[in-house]
Structure 1
Amino acid sequence: MTGPHPAPAAVVTGLGTCLPETVVTNDDLSRHLDTDHAWIHSRTGIARRHRASPGTGTGDLAVAAGAAALKSAGRDDCDLVLLATTTPDRRCPATAPAVASRLGLEAAAFDLSAVCSGFVYGLSAAAAMVTAGTCERALVIGADVYSSIVDPTDRTTAVVFGDGAGAVVLERGSRDAPGALLHCELGSDGTGADLITIPPGGDHLTMQGRAVYTRAVTTMTESARSVARAAGWSPDDIDAFVGHQANQRILTSVAKRLGLPAERVVSNIADVGNTAAASIPLALADASADGRIRQGDRLVLTAFGGGLTWGSAALVWPDTEAVCDVRA
């Protein structure tokens, strides 16, 4: 007689990223903004960010990151493509079907809009579909070209955002498998919609930085604690905290409130800036490449973004090597 089978779960089996080739430093920005490297870095932790070249859209970055994730997983197909983005190539139709087609896939495909929380929202939605049997394998992509919606003369936003894409492959497995998503938690508060927004009739993103900082620190801390508790972990059990790379001071404040030492906090914001929905997979790829996260590590992913939206996920990291692409 055999014992009960482990509960089904969505398991991360591949990771891929794409960053535009063009790098914009703080010194580059200071040539046309009333700022300098010291001011930007001290307030954000950012030193440089990548920018898509003219004619390169979200779909281009998403295709490259998706192909890299499938290569990482050793797969050439999937039956769901979920694209988290605030900058779709068109207002209609969604960008995901075109991304799927360019990847040679005849898969269900749709866009998801949750701003900087988009990747965690996408993980949760895709994991639910995988574990329910709606699909066997899902490609979850976070991709944004914020340079298309940021006012280059607005010091509040122009110094913060970068372009990029990151993706993971999820497959049906068991909760005791490395890479298993153990728990996800999502939330929103629409009363804060004006804190991060493109106003009606406007073309550019606006952000109330001080208010966003306060809400982000409080909400990300509470969300991370809650998802860790649901996974049965104490703060001491968390090997790595991978927060949305919005601002280094936010990451530091959340880690302090969680009681996590600096070495357990994954940060790559200095090199890529705030890449919105691409932020967490890009941070995962960097941390995996340099050994900051290893197979078996217990990870908490936490994001906060416009909407207001937030979300967290708890997972055990698999033996997965990220595949990274660089595009013009």
Structure 2
Amino acid sequence: MAQDKQSRNKVTGARLIGVGSALPQRAFSNDELAAEFNLDTSDEWIRTRTGIQQRHIVSGDETAVSLAHKAAQRALDHAGKAASDVDAVIVATSTPDQVFPSVAVRVQAALGMERGFGFDVSAACSGFVYALTIGDSMIRSGQAKRIMVIGVEVFSRLLDWEDRSTCVLFGDGAGAVLLEAGADEGEGILSTHLHADGRLGDLLYVDGAVGCTSGKVALKMHGREVFRHAVVNLAAAVDEALETNGLKGTDIQWMVPHQANLRIIDGMAKKLSLPSDRVVVTVDRHANTSAASIPLALDEAVRDGRIKQGDLVLMEALGGGLTWGSALIRM
């Protein structure tokens, strides 16, 4: 028992040792989406307002669990670890396949894990930052040594395909990171910052769900108001991360933002004085994949060599709730 206490005291933080992602096989350009769902819209209308050019949508036997499992396995392979090395699975999602069991325990089973624990986190587009915070806290407390953190969404299940103001914005996908204990001071997850304001919940929400009898389940959004709050709250969350760590915007080497709207992403980059080639952008090809968007973008930038070990990376997101947050990581 004394040795267990001593080992827990030595844990200083969590570091990222593996990344992975998965996308549905079917990709739809803006024109293809308009034709498939008979939408009164155009590539120009979507692209100029959001920066989105295409998105992936699940089909056949693709599910939240299958996408999350693929992303998690790729993160394990990238880290050179086996499922038996993992103590827990935390999944951020607003679109689970079932009310329960959670996506996390389904992924646990699919990976072949025979021990540990798993659970889902619901914080909409901020979900990955929330789940990352929980994973980091559990590692710091000694609850676990290695934790798989996954963001996965199949938002195509929640969209009203007659509402062009929302259905063109979202895509499906999954991203995962493997966290491990042992980060030295100044390495790994330096800090995370979470916020929510339930008074603004009706700006972005899903109308109907289990436990409700309202009929059709569909995502609803007051786009202009969400945009306005995103600009203000994300800027504050970025400032909070910088001030906590005694840094300036120019110290950041990479920004991996939530991929909702190119104009918001550009605005945050300008605030940090970051050139566009230091901002990871996937919204043009993935659209808004909600809780999956940050780990999807991170995986792409790590694997293509842009983000390297030792780089200082800022993540930020805002989603329904309203929820928002930021994370600062030394890779």
* Counterpart-to-counterpart distance in 2, 1:20 and 1:207: 25
* Counterpart-to-counterpart distance in 2, 1:177 and 1:217: 29
Residues 99-110 of structure 1: matches in 2 within 5 Å? Answer: 99-105=107-113, 106-110=115-119
State the 1:258 CA deviation.
Answer: 3.1
1:24 is aligned to 2:28? yes
CA contact 1:117–1:309 (8 Å) conserved in 2: yes
Structure 1 runs of 4+ aligned residues shifted over 4 Å read none
1:232 is aligned to 2:249? no
| Residues 30 and 311 of structure 1: CA distance in aligned 2, closer, same or farther (over 3 Å) | same
Equivalent residue number for residue 200 of structure 2? 192
* TM-score normalised by structure 1 residue count: 0.92
1:54 is aligned to 2:54? no
State the 1:230 CA deviation.
Answer: 1.2
User: Structure 2 residue aligned with 1:275, among 289, 301, 304?
Assistant: 289
Unmatched 5+ residue regions in structure 1?
A: 318-328
State the 1:146 CA deviation.
Answer: 0.5
| Structure 1 vs Structure 2 CA RMSD | 1.5
The one-letter amino acid paired with 2:226 is V
CA contact 1:6–1:176 (8 Å) conserved in 2: no
More helix by share: 2
**Aligned partner of residue 71 in structure 1, secondary structure:** helix
State the 1:295 CA deviation.
Answer: 2.0
* Counterpart-to-counterpart distance in 2, 1:204 and 1:87: 12
* Counterpart-to-counterpart distance in 1, 2:151 and 2:230: 20
1:14 is aligned to 2:10? no
**Aligned partner of residue 13 in structure 2, secondary structure:** strand
User: Structure 1 residue aligned with 2:217, among 203, 209, 214?
Assistant: 203
The one-letter amino acid paired with 2:284 is A
Equivalent residue number for residue 140 of structure 2? 131
- The aligned length equals 312
1:93 is aligned to 2:97? no
User: Structure 1 residue aligned with 2:228, among 214, 217, 230?
Assistant: 214
User: Structure 2 residue aligned with 1:44, among 50, 53, 57?
Assistant: 50
Unmatched 5+ residue regions in structure 2?
A: 1-8, 209-213
CA contact 1:225–1:258 (8 Å) conserved in 2: no
* TM-score normalised by structure 2 residue count: 0.91
Deviations 1:222-258 (A, max 9, x none): 1011112212211110011111000101101122233
The one-letter amino acid paired with 2:200 is G
The one-letter amino acid paired with 1:182 is L
* Counterpart-to-counterpart distance in 2, 1:292 and 1:222: 27
Quote the sequence identity (%).
43
